Amino acid sequence: MDSEQGTDERRGTAARDGQPPGNFRWLLVAGGLLLQFSIGAVYAWSVFGGALENADSWQLSKVQASLPFTVTIGMIFIGTYAGGRLQDLRGPRIVALIGGVIYAFGILLASFTNGSDDYWLLILGYGVISGFGLGFAYIVPIAMLQKWFPDKTGLITGLAVGGFGFGAVLTSPVAQWLINQDPEDPTSAFLPLGIAYLVMSLAGAALFRNPPAGYTVPGFEPVTGGGAEAGLGKEYTQGEALRTPQWYLLTAILTLSVAAGISLISQAKPSATDIAGFSVTGAATLVGVLAIFNGAGRIVWAAISDYIGRMKTFTAILVLQGVCLIMLPHADNVVLFSILAAIVYLCYGGAFGTMPATAGDFFGVRNAGAIYGLMLIGWSLGGIIGPIIASSLIGEDKAYTVAYTTIGVIALVSVLLTVVTKVPAARRGSAAVEP
């Protein structure tokens, strides 16, 4: 009885002080994961791309089959820019709800396509509309949770985007099963999927809110004396961040890391069948399994970056991606191919898990929605560059060695950017911390 009374008293004190119950912030993490899981299903596109190449009613080329996915990724930047600015003004819940509805509407619209004559509608629905909604919603839990977890910035931003990486884990085999019910009409699978995405995103977004004024984490004391990793120093506005070279360097690192990883993601299913001899069903299953590494990378690399530093983490990510992509076309057995692809996916996810905390270290978290939302132009640029290079170089001749070697070399050269990128002086304070 005394214990229950003590708990009630602590809750009452927290409420009077404007502090939510201690476990509330973890409920927000769960909501964020649910939202990200629904929009992260976009990474299952290679399952649909392969089906659109083979269906008699579509018979798309490799470049045509990858274009809807490319447009989706290209539209994300516009969505994150708009959503990030609105979130800083109106709060996270309304932005996430709007984004989830727009995303699901685009998917549902794509379900009404019925052959190559409707290719434009597939681009409009899956590409333009759902891509905008995806970006609009994506930035919300990242910016929101950094404010709730000043004590775990790297880990929590990894978790915030982890659900996005895991989105294709379930979606890939489910999508393949739905496509198998009517192989000549693969886009009909978008109808049940779109409904499921709508329910999940709205359920997650309904929980969102910013912490109250004066919110503190019990037991957490920021380091006094300066230090970017403690979240101290100047809080940049979006305009101020854009006037620093660091913003452009970080965006370039994100762009090139995304381009490397997404070149494989966009071609994962056909690469698995052509290089390593997977069956069509086996390749679809592999895409789902690889999504686990995409999601895990966002959490693992973000947590690692809290210990070894942000730029060292990006160095490791780019080197591993480059080496594995160069080796991939020569992996003619399922085990080696799967290992190399898993590492690429792990590193691809790691860039998204690590960059939000890096941006927070460099520019502060007060305007994180606008600053990082605009930085995600790197996602869109990389999402366009990577698939275009891959599909163009692979071509009908299936020149995987040329394609993946070219992209791998670009990733390795990109390591130079991590060497020259330093925290702005206004964020360093009196401590020399390399985030």
User: Where exactly are the structural domains of the chain?
Assistant: 26-209+228-423
**26-209+228-423 falls under which CATH superfamily?**
MFS general substrate transporter like domains (1.20.1250.20)
For residue 14, what pLDDT band results from cuts at 50, 70 and 90?
very low
- Determine the pLDDT at residue 86: 84
For residue 253, what pLDDT band results from cuts at 50, 70 and 90?
very high
pLDDT per position as a tens digit, 135-151: 999 888 888 887 888 77
Most confidently predicted of 22-31, 116-125, 212-221, 379-388? 116-125
- Determine the pLDDT at residue 347: 95
- Determine the pLDDT at residue 20: 61
Round the average pLDDT of the chain to a whole number and report it.
84
Q: Which of 355, 373, 370 is nearest to 88 (CA)?
A: 370
- Rounded to 10 deg, the angle between the 24-39 and 190-205 helix axes is 160
- Determine the pLDDT at residue 11: 40
pLDDT per position as a tens digit, 290-311: 888 988 888 889 888 888 889 9
For 382-411, what is the mean pLDDT?
90
* pTM as predicted: 0.73
**For residues 176 and 43, which has the higher predicted lDDT (pLDDT)?**
176
For 27-51, what is the mean pLDDT?
87
CA 245 vs CA 179, 240, 252: distances in Å: 47, 11, 11
pLDDT over 60 (residue 432): no
pLDDT over 70 (residue 8): no
pLDDT per position as a tens digit, 154-168: 777 777 777 787 777
- Determine the pLDDT at residue 306: 81
pLDDT per position as a tens digit, 59-83: 888 788 888 988 998 888 888 888 8
Angle (nearest 5°) at CA 343 between 60 and 193: 45
Element (H, E) at 123: none
Q: How far apart are CA 414 and CA 256, in angstroms?
A: 7
- Determine the pLDDT at residue 417: 96
Instruction: Report the sign of the C-alpha dihedral through residues 59, 274, 393, 250, in that order.
Output: positive
CA 411 vs CA 324, 349, 377: distances in Å: 10, 15, 18
pLDDT over 60 (residue 173): yes
**For residues 164 and 431, which has the higher predicted lDDT (pLDDT)?**
164
For residue 126, what pLDDT band results from cuts at 50, 70 and 90?
very high
pLDDT over 60 (residue 252): yes
pLDDT per position as a tens digit, 328-342: 999 989 999 999 999
**For residues 157 and 232, which has the higher predicted lDDT (pLDDT)?**
157
pLDDT over 80 (residue 227): no
**For residues 242 and 25, which has the higher predicted lDDT (pLDDT)?**
242
